[in-house]
Amino acid sequence: MIRHTVVFTLRHEPGSAGERDFLTEARRLADIPGVEKFEQLRQVSPKNDFRFGFSMEFSDQAAYSGYNDHPFHVAFVRDRWIPEVEAFLEIDYAPLD
């Protein structure tokens, strides 16, 4: 199992239409084959400046690779993520044996 997580801050003003539109469009990532347990999260800790997080799981590396290469994911990163995300940190986990 691989858990793919990312925390990020958008360039949009908090509560703006741009912010809502980005988050709405991002929910479609959950429809990509292989994505399990997709969550959109609001970051609430004062320990960092990120505002949102996404978390999802994949059964194995093949499922994760399929997600990364899926046309919708590629287009989302190119057309939405790169121009609209100000800062992010991506962490991918696998369980310890």
Q: Which CATH number goes with the domain that contains 64?
A: 3.30.70.100
Q: Which two tokens stand for residue 66?
A: 């399929």
Residue 2 has pLDDT above 90, yes or no: yes
Which residue range(s) make up the domain with 64? Answer: 2-87
pLDDT tens for each residue of 24-76? 999 999 999 999 999 999 999 999 999 999 999 999 999 999 999 999 999 99
Question: pLDDT per residue over 70-83, tens digit each?
Answer: 999 999 999 999 99
CA atoms of 81 and 2, how far apart (whole Å): 21
Q: Is residue 39 part of a domain?
A: yes
In a domain, 97, yes or no: no
Number of domains in the chain: 1
Give pLDDT, residue 48: 93
Whole-number Cα distances in Å, 93 to 24, 46, 57: 25, 23, 9
Beta bridge partners of 4: 56, 92
Any domain includes 83 = yes
Task: Give yes or no for a contact between 80 and 21, defined as CB atoms under 8 angstroms apart.
Answer: no
